[in-house]
Copies of this chain bind each other. A is one copy, B any other.
């Protein structure tokens, strides 16, 4: 399948729904909501929501409950965006540029950026539990809620960011690097795929395959992120290039070199595609997404 037009169409669909689900920046809380909207709509590839929708399609084909999956997909993007806002803060990575634009705290100040992140994180769970936006059975929605909370929480994304900060500038063993990536970026990517699967009624085996797929593309995604940070310019990337090396971060290229890192990324994609064997044509978007992840330029 043609990945570029598919991604473009899906991205537009996700952004339409984000615009629909997101609060308008008016009345009493206009400034906070403006800060939340700034980072949410400043751009981005919308990879997690697209993965979520594609996983639901893989399970249910044309009868995928797209309308019901959409709030879940949008909640994933809210959580991803919050994590970027907080990661960019002066106390964290202190980044000035994100998606080619000034970071949230550069525009709205540090206090408002912290609150915009808090607001997006909380709003994600508001959306996941809102009775007005989905007809999925309550037990399915609760399972999705739990899957995403666990992946984003202290044993997932937040834990990974803490571990990453604690080990900045240190030589760390590969095992710890894997733990950092699995938690910091892998967990939420896997949760996006799992949540889509759960929404579409995946059985136990299908869900296990989706988990394997998610873990493998999460790994590939991280390796390619590391490679792009070394090989791209800031302009191509839309965020500060070379910042990992400057911060003395442990990365795949730093540990294994460029060539071996590229091979590892390709192997992870092969694992991901292999995990989809039991799915038919309906998993074509997931397969194409896996390939896209290693070939992307930003």
Contacts and interface: CB of A to CB of B under 8 A. Distances in A.
Interface string A114-134: 110111011101101111000
A119 B158 contact: yes
Given A31-B166, A122-B152, A125-B125, A115 B158 contact: yes
Given A118-B86, A142-B142, A163 B28 contact: yes
A29 B142 contact: no
A23 B162 contact: no
Contacts of A161: 115
A271 B142 CA distance: 36
Contacts of A115: 86, 158, 161-162, 165
Contacts of A146: 126, 129-131
Given A28-B163, A126-B146, A131-B146, A118 B158 contact: yes
A139 interface: yes
Contact of A149 (B92, B126, B166, B179): B126
B114 A91 contact: yes
A153 interface: yes
Contacts of A86: 114-115, 118
Number of copies: 2
Nearest to A28: B179
Contacts of A141: 138, 142
Nearest to A179: B28
| Main secondary structure on A side of the interface with B | helix
Contacts of A230: none
Contact of A145 (B117, B129, B152): B129
A90 to B, nearest CB: 8
Interface in A1-31: 23, 28-29, 31
A143 interface: yes
Interface in A25-48: 28-29, 31-33, 36
A83 to B, nearest CB: 8
Which of A110, A129, A161 counts the most B-chain CB atoms under 10 A from its CB? A129
Contact of A89 (B32, B114, B139): B114
Contacts of A96: none
A268 to B, nearest CB: 21
A159 interface: yes
A45 to B, nearest CB: 23
A155 interface: yes
Interface string A86-119: 1001011000000000000000011110110111
14 contacts: A28-B163, A29-B154, A29-B183, A31-B162, A31-B163, A91-B114, A119-B154, A122-B152, A122-B154, A122-B158, A126-B149, A138-B139, A141-B142, A142-B142
